[in-house]
A and B are shown apart, each in its own frame.
Chain A
Amino acid sequence: MNHYSGLRNALIAFFLLLSTLYALPNIFGSDLAVQVSSAGDAAIEQSDLTKITDTLKQKNIQYKSAALSNRRILVRFGDNASQLSAKDLLKTELGRNYVVALNLAPSVPQWLDSLGGRAMSLGLDLRGGVHFLLEVDMQAVLAMSIDKYYNELRTLLREGRLYKSIKKEGDNIAIRFKTLELKEKALARIKSDVSDLIVLETDNQDELLIQVGISDDAQKIAKSSALKQNITTLRNRVNELGVAEPIIQQQGLERIVVQLPGVQDTARAKEILGAVATLEFRLVDEKNDPQTAIQSGRTPIGSKLYYFKDGRPLLLKTRVITTGENITGASSGIDQENNIPMVNITLDSAGGRAMLDTTKKYLHHRMAVVFIENQVETITDEDGRVVLDKKGNPLKKRTTTKDIINAATIQGTFSSRFQITGIDSAREARNLALLLRAGSLSAPIEIIEERTIGPSLGADNIQKGVLSVIVGFVLVLIFMAVRYRVFGLVANVALTLNLVMIVAILSLLQATLTLPGIAGIVLTVGMAVDANVLIFERIKEELGSQSNIQKAISSGYDKAVLTIADANITTLIAALVLFSFGTGPIKGFAITLSIGIVTSMFTAIIVSRAIINKIYGGKKLEELSI
């Protein structure tokens, strides 16, 4: 009685050793590091590593080690100052094909690393960083595709002048015909050429009118491609910002989660991510006076009224020379002559050709650069609730600002390379260049949730979290030892092993540890002893009702186990519901709680039994220290 087989003991010991091994990486702390990875598809090679170490040696920046693994180079530093100066240096030296970012690299020894031992990854609330939830404005996406189909239809039906009139009506296109015959012809043509459109059934009595809408499938495709393209653009922008382990993920059908751990300048990250900005180049209408246009309220045909940021008006030609879509490269700098910020632009061949033609033809005319920014915001009522439109979509305020940032005389012909000035500050020039490089978003996005944790608060949170785990843990240890003596000590061993197992499993799963996650661990510590308490109280009872001590231990365990299972399964149900409902912080709590419940059953029932068996099993006992 009260004896585990050697095999069983060996298995238990094996599990515990394994847990200890995989929990181990967490005690080594981490190094300040600079991470270099490729911005595109090109792989990082050994030669890059040599280049980096050479550069650092040249500038006399001390580093601890530099290594290439997992397609990235990690250079570790002893102090913050050299880490920061190395980052700035490498960023300028390596150029734009590389992402240079600050990172924290766990300093796990080689042998442990090769066994797959990794430290837990810390959540944003522990290491600092930003979390954004972005929503793509799908109504705008649909409006854009209606525009596209409208133009397509007009071209298609113009051949043979099939329609009498065609116009956009909300989400649909209305086409009117002169005769039924023409209508049939048009319908046939639409069916064969534009399969994405469907002719809507309407209760309209007018036989010569049809309404065309976008099919559900085509709408879905338009939405998902807008989302995908936005994700690509966001990824480019994040790469430009230089973030070590960014997460950019689709969430649902309209949303994108962006997490940037360790970002220091959160304000800039926000500006960059949310911006839907592009440029247009237009000729200035020199023949007409903007003041007359304002006074008369009528702009001359072929021109449109624009304003500088400071409010000065100017008439520009409606024809666009080229737009931001044709920009392939952009970098910011300082114009040496006037000492003002500027952006160097490189156009693709189509844009270059258009620019060359224009500058040849309109030498000594003025050309304007228009900065266009789209914004979308959700409108709320007085109680802060979302206002819905007739179709049940949230009402949004969409604003498009078009500012002239400069209008300069064309001094000579040029094509694909030139500079633009007129930007307020060096910071704005940097941002503009970055946005132009990363490409524009295909549809406006709105930040609908932001959670930013500064680095100082992150450090605070870790410190406080760890402190409360330790204090809570020690209090429970003392309490159990006082109350149950030898058995209490056994429970304490089980509890410690439980903690080790939780850490090991979290590390193996590479689950993210958050502050609520730590709270989950603390709570588990408190509740994990419950199983032992149940067993020990039961053993005490059994001791009261029978004289055989060995039997009392055994039946105490047996009887308590069912109760423990029942009680824990119900808690597990609550934890699982938490997990499935969970957004970030709650999920972390649910994960640690669930893991804790399972591991505590193992340690409190099986491990503690194994130890008790070793101590008391098979001996003739007069009394139990319980």
Chain B
Amino acid sequence: MKALNIPTIDFVGKRTYAIIVSLALIAVSIFSLSTHGLKFGIDFTGGTLIEVGYEQDVNLSKVRNTLSEAKFKSANVQYFGSTKEILIRLEPQAVSSAKLSSKIIHLLGDDVDIRRVEFVGPKVGEELTNDGGLAMLYALIGILIYVAIRFEYRFALGSISALIHDVIITLGVFSLLQIEFDLTVLAAILAVIGYSLNDTIVVFDRIRENFLSTRHVDPAKIINGALNQTLSRTIMTSLTTLLVLMALFFLGGEIIHSFALALLIGVVIGTYSSIYVASSMILALGISKEDLLPSEKEEKEMDARP
């Protein structure tokens, strides 16, 4: 038989530092979000995006000149992935129309390879922005209800604060680095919500179990014990998830880049928050053994356990 070495790190004792770190990160994120805002992609702002490929390296200023001569002065031209591919972005014009892209493609000549054209009308963009916000809200509410039913309202509040923490900081990073925020990033953030919650629930499950199986112990100690017991699982799962995300980030191509990045950031923050934020929160809300006493039926099952 192998001796089991469950770590005894004092997570709960260090929660004051964690709270300071979290608050600082949130403050920076909110500051950046309110001053810089997010760099929304055309999915949300509306506009036109064209990705073209050339046989040889392209000269960006040449393309810019061609476009500005044809009165597309607001066109943003940049390399995309390599110097043989360029991305042209057009802000929404006074009159939005899918025809702009055809005009630009015509200007670029026949020998280019049209890799991608996206046009999003202003109305569609506004709808997506509203729907996206609503989706985030619905996800949070659904989770709140589920956790409140399965556990207790303090756990629900704890997990939701961890999620809001994760979402704000992930958005903050996107705002600080001014990385484009498009539909796929929104999807990634919703996936982060799912992931981070997964993590939190595992910890909570253990906290509940420990509360019920031991008697007269300080809640802080129980929570700390549960965090330590689940620590190696938390780390393992985060590592495997990070591994595949790295694969996506480096090999998945440009289109999936910011999606993978959002998940990478989200998984790291989510792992941290399920250890520090969620559990500190339920401790602060004053969780105790009495709150978790099961109904009679479950109690019998508990007693039956060895």
Contacts and interface: CB of A to CB of B under 8 A. Distances in A.
B47 A526 contact: no
A267 B103 CA distance: 10
Nearest to A576: B142
A424 interface: no
Contact of A464 (B186, B232, B251): B251
A570 B197 contact: yes
B236 A537 contact: yes
Contacts of B124: 133, 448-449
Given A529-B237, A571-B198, A566 B139 contact: no
B194 to A, nearest CB: 3
Interface string B175-188: 00000000110110
Contacts of B224: none
Given A479-B239, A522-B248, A574 B115 contact: no
B98 A447 contact: yes
A34 B117 CA distance: 26
Nearest to A448: B121
Given A380-B92, A516-B187, A575-B194, A534 B233 contact: yes
Contacts of B252: 464-465, 468, 519, 522
Interface string A556-580: 0001001100111111111111101
A577 B263 contact: no
Nearest to A457: B115
Given A581-B131, A623-B2, A537 B233 contact: yes
A274 B132 CA distance: 28
Interface in B108-150: 113-126, 128, 131-132, 134-135, 138-139, 142-143, 146-147, 150
A522 B245 CA distance: 8
A476 B237 CA distance: 10
Given A378-B121, A527-B241, A583-B183, A577 B251 contact: no
Contacts of B147: 570
Interface residues of B, number: 91
A271 to B, nearest CB: 8
Contacts of B242: 526
Interface string B35-54: 00000000001110001010
Contact of B101 (A379, A450, A527): A450
A573 B253 contact: no
Nearest to B233: A537
Nearest to B198: A567
A479 B251 contact: no
Interface string B191-203: 1011101110110
Contacts of B121: 135, 378, 446-449
A377 B92 CA distance: 12
- The majority secondary structure among interface residues of chain A is helix
Contacts of A12: none
Interface residues of A, number: 88
B122 A574 contact: no
B147 to A, nearest CB: 7
A528 to B, nearest CB: 9
Main SS at interface, chain B: helix
Contact of B205 (A135, A543, A563): A563
Contacts of B115: 453-454, 456-457
A286 to B, nearest CB: 37
B229 interface: yes
A566 B122 contact: no
Interface string A370-396: 000000011110001110000000100
Contact of B95 (A378, A448, A464, A540): A378
Given A270-B102, A516-B259, A544-B3, A452 B190 contact: no
Contact of A570 (B102, B198, B263): B198
Given A380-B94, A543-B2, A456 B248 contact: no
B4 interface: yes
B253 A475 contact: no
B230 to A, nearest CB: 8
A456 B53 contact: yes
Nearest to B263: A523
A527 B115 CA distance: 32
Given A378-B95, A570-B143, A476 B244 contact: yes
B118 A544 contact: no
Given A394-B123, A448-B123, 15 more contacts: A377-B97, A380-B92, A384-B45, A384-B47, A450-B101, A454-B116, A461-B255, A464-B252, A472-B244, A479-B243, A515-B256, A567-B199, A567-B205, A570-B197, A585-B187
Interface of B: 1-4, 6, 45-47, 51, 53, 91-99, 101-102, 105-106, 113-126, 128, 131-132, 134-135, 138-139, 142-143, 146-147, 150, 183-184, 186-187, 190-191, 193-195, 197-199, 201-202, 205-206, 209, 229-230, 232-233, 236-237, 239-248, 250-253, 255-256, 259-260, 263
6 contacts: A270-B102, A515-B255, A522-B252, A566-B201, A571-B194, A593-B191
